[in-house]
Amino acid sequence: MAKKRGSGEGTVFQRTDGRWVGRLSLGVCEKTGKRIQKTVYGTTQAEVIDKLAILRQQKKQSGKAIASKDSIAGYMKRWLENDILLNRSAKTHQGYEFANRLYIEPFIGSVKLTNLNSDTLVEWQGKLARKDFTDHMRHRSIKVLRSALSRAVKLRLIPYNPCKGLEMPTVTPKEVIPLEPEQCHRLIEACQKHRLGDLIVLAAMTGLRRGELFALEWSAVNTTEGVLVVRRTLEELNKLKVKQPKTKASRRVVTLGAEAVAALNRRREKAIAEGFDPETVPVVFTDTRGGYLRGSNFARNVWYPIRKAASIPDTFVFHDLRHTQASLMVAAGIDLKIVQVRLGHRDFATTANVYSHLLQGVQAEAMLKVDDLLRRTAPKEEQPSEKAF
């Protein structure tokens, strides 16, 4: 039985479509007298509970003054604006700013940069732990602050980085549970009925990321030769932005199998029927007006209904389709180096760390084949002749 949530912790429940919802009361508006309520959404109960915790922290810290220029808060503001915003992607800046606003500034923002030491940081992490911030949140907070302070050392603002002495919380990575072949067949069948279902099929059969699929253009697709080129990705922050993939490895040529080719051919027919002829509307998967898709709308209107229709667990997120492609390749005996290139991983270690466990079954099968080979090629024992008697 689920533990009852305490007063002020918010309400969490699951909708009929499998999506989790959390609601939190933030008091009463002084001007209108109306109750202020915030709603958050997630694919799992734990995700929603984490989001509610962040809202409660924001409520507690609202109205606090920003510390002076020589403080952690002042330095972090300058670092985010002058280093991260100018030299890193907008998405990276957004993630760093989010971590600073929720995990760093409210707790140690008023501390002077030159006075920051290991004791203060250990106490800071203790506060986060006691306030039920998850290990993932604490890991993220240390990572961002450590990066910022490393820059401060290079600028000779501080003599050393006190974050290096902090023990990082152990974050257990999410277990990769890809779809079984039978589930893949159910999913492909459920995709046939939706105008954008072929995007899901293509994700499972190529391992492309969601942003790469959203930005895919017909000029990058050749169904006759059975290949597509990944050279763009769609970034969604406050607005949509098409840009080059982050790494050189992500810019790649992907070979298409029969299911992927069929999905693209079906999508072309649907696009023409909708009035989005590929000659005039270059984007493969568009919204109903011919524009780029938004992730939240796609999840709500396409992914969740199709996942439910295919009887796929709601814990299986869209990104897991990428893992499904990898698992299918490993099961087919494809070398992990090929998997790395196909998925666009920058280094082999990433692929090996995520998918090496999938090799256990393949290795067992390989050893059976080796044993069989040795048995078949073993020299036969000589039978004693009759003369020996």
The phi, psi pair for 294, rounded to 5°, reads: -105, 140
SS3 222: strand
Pairing relation of β-strands 233-236 and 11-14?
A: unpaired
The torsion region of residue 8 among left (phi > 0), alpha (psi -120 to 50) and beta comes to: left
Task: Please compute the mean of the pLDDT values over residues 184-191 and round it to a whole number.
Answer: 95
Task: Please compute the mean of the pLDDT values over residues 127-151 and round it to a whole number.
Answer: 95
Spatial neighbors of 288 by CB under 8 A, at least 6 apart, are 274
77-113 as b/e, with b when 16 or more CB fall inside 10 Å?
bebbeebbbeeeeeeebbebbebbbbbbbbbbbbbeb
pLDDT band at 65 (very low <50, low <70, confident <90, very high): very low
Least trusted range by pLDDT, from 271-275, 335-339, 362-366: 362-366
Question: pTM of the full predicted structure?
Answer: 0.69
pLDDT of residue 247: 86
Going along the chain from its start, the domains and CATH numbers come out as 11-61 (no CATH), 72-165 (1.10.150.130), 181-364 (1.10.443.10)
Which of 315, 342, 314 shows the shortest CA–CA distance to 326?
342
pLDDT tens string 6-58: 555 678 999 888 889 999 887 776 667 677 888 988 888 888 887 888 777 76
User: 142 pLDDT exceeds 90?
Assistant: yes
Average pLDDT over the chain reads 86
Task: Please compute the mean of the pLDDT values over residues 89-94 and round it to a whole number.
Answer: 88
Q: List, as one string, the DSSP characters of 84-149.
A: IHHHS-HHHHHHHHHHIIIIIHHHHTTSBGGG--HHHHHHHHHHHHHTT--HHHHHHHHHHHHHHH
The phi, psi pair for 230, rounded to 5°, reads: -95, 110
Whether residue 225 contacts residue 313, with contact meaning beta carbons closer than 8 Å, is answered with no
Percent with pLDDT over 90 in the chain = 55
pLDDT of residue 8: 58
For CA atoms 337, 343, 345, 351, give the dihedral sign. negative
> What DSSP designation does 31 have?
T
Cα–Cα distance for residue pair 32/226, rounded to 1 Å: 60
Which of 358, 357, 356, 337 shows the shortest CA–CA distance to 348?
337
